[in-house]
Structure 1
Amino acid sequence: MSINDMSNSLEPTSIEQVAPRTVVFVAYPQMGLLDLTGAQTVLYAANRGLVEHGLPGYALHTASIEGGPVPTAEGLVVQTRCLSELADGPIDSVIVPGSPQILQTMADNLALVDWLRAAPATARRMASVCSGTFLLAQAGLLDGLRVTTHWVMADLFEQLFPQIELDREAIFVQQQSVWTSAGISAGIDLALALVEADCGRDMAMQVARRMVVYYRRPDNQDQWSPLLQSQYPAGA
């Protein structure tokens, strides 16, 4: 489903699970910082609400192939665990950020792509933010599905992966157990939808209020919104 056709009929999974859900944020050099931290902050805020209700929440891990410090595109260095350290336990969700240098990322991170290819065998769902969709596609996880990515990279995505249906307008898309989202801040929209699916609408709304963001963007808003277009200089 997309942000435009998501309805209140979405049935959440019970939040009365025994243990926290393990969520792995996959890190790699030159990833987008907000792609990573936007979704992380949503789940962190959800944890606060769940703890207040005496419920287990999310166990959040930022991990990379080799572990250790990973530089982001913006220059901030993120400390990570090694992905192999998480191999023994069940993984609920894997979330892959994008990069402004996605072609170089695809060429330089083949070991990461291999890890992503194998992840669905043990992970309940896979998700991507922005151009992270390219990495899921490179791993062969999106064939036959409808997906989205940042509008700037839409042409490139269709050139590289013509077998995958690309929705250029959606803020995020869910197809089976795979979730993909558009550029940067759309990762927050996606993460709120994950919280709703896991914990219900009330918890997702509580998180949105804590973060002072839309619980859902207006139904008619696409990636290149009319409001933004009206603010753009004429002829630019």
Structure 2
Amino acid sequence: MVIKDMPGRLEYQNPNPLRAQPRTVIFVAYPQMGLLDLTGAHTVFWAATRNLNQLGLPGYTLHTASVAGGTVRTGEGLVVQTRRLTDLVNEPRDTLIVPGSPHIRQAIVDNASLIDWLRLASTTANRTTSICSGAFFLGCAGLLDGLRVATHWTMADQFERAFPQVKLDREAIYVQQKSIWTAAGVSAGIDLALALVEADHGRKLAMQVARHLVVYYRRPDNQEQWSPLLQSQYLS
């Protein structure tokens, strides 16, 4: 997707006229998942779709699905309605997104069938991604071996013990390695989603979405997960 500046507006040109269908994003839900891990990224794709649809162009089809379907209670206590993952068997899998959980150790134990699903589904997905401690699910599915990845800074020691064959980048906001994308904690899911939108539709659209959401389009290069600025604010 190429976007060029026009007087008073943006004009979007699709370099691939065969791409007439929206891209499908499947958010993989499970009990005790982090709410903002899900909704932050979801809102980015929603905003991108709104911009594209206004110009008559396809955006994203968004699904939130779990193993059993129905309602899923997040770690923060709010309830999310989901479809069954098996109901999406005939849907294209452009992007899979696995949110993290404040109770990731128990979530892994309770969701062995989800790990099996991810292992299989990732073979046909264009991109498999995680937000925050969702990287533990990808690691348990064997999708991260030999790759550099990101996760929440508070989970770093635990992650390295669990997956010694994976190179954890403790400072990264998000990392792309081949078709695998991983993000740091919580709000970093917004950064990840903006990067995915940019990969699909270009920098201009990603910037418009970031502007709408009043967030950084791209954080400063020296921004660390637990930056000196945050440390000074915490200690003051």
User: How high is the TM-score relative to the length of structure 2?
Assistant: 0.92
Cα separation, partners in 2 of 1:146 and 1:129, compared to 1, 3 Å: same
Residue aligned with 2:122, SS? helix
Cα separation, partners in 2 of 1:13 and 1:204, compared to 1, 3 Å: farther
What corresponds to 1:82 in structure 2?
A: 84
Matching residue's letter, 2:57: L
What corresponds to 1:227 in structure 2?
A: 229
Pick one of 210, 218, 230 that aligns with 1:216.
218
2: distance between equivalents of 1:16 and 1:231?
50
The offset of 1:14, in angstroms, is 5.1
What corresponds to 1:97 in structure 2?
A: 99
Is the 1:174–1:180 contact (alpha carbons within 8 Å) kept by the matching residues of 2? Answer: yes
Pick one of 188, 192, 195 that aligns with 1:193.
195
The offset of 1:53, in angstroms, is 1.8
Larger relative contact order (Cα-Cα within 8 Å, sequence gap ≥ 6): 1
Cα separation, partners in 2 of 1:15 and 1:24, compared to 1, 3 Å: farther
Is the 1:14–1:198 contact (alpha carbons within 8 Å) kept by the matching residues of 2? Answer: no
What stretches of structure 1 of length at least 5 have no aligned partner?
1-11
1: distance between equivalents of 2:154 and 2:18?
40
The offset of 1:89, in angstroms, is 2.4
What corresponds to 1:143 in structure 2?
A: 145
Percent identical pairs in the alignment equals 68
What corresponds to 1:156 in structure 2?
A: 158
1: distance between equivalents of 2:193 and 2:18?
19
Dislocated runs of 4+, deviation >2 Å: 12-16
Structure 1, 129-138 or 116-125: larger mean CA deviation? 116-125
Residue aligned with 2:94, SS? strand
2: distance between equivalents of 1:55 and 1:90?
18
Matching residue's letter, 1:110: A
1:32-111 equivalent positions in 2, closer than 5 A: 32-111=34-113
What corresponds to 1:134 in structure 2?
A: 136
Cα separation, partners in 2 of 1:15 and 1:116, compared to 1, 3 Å: farther
Residue aligned with 2:64, SS? strand
2: distance between equivalents of 1:13 and 1:178?
25
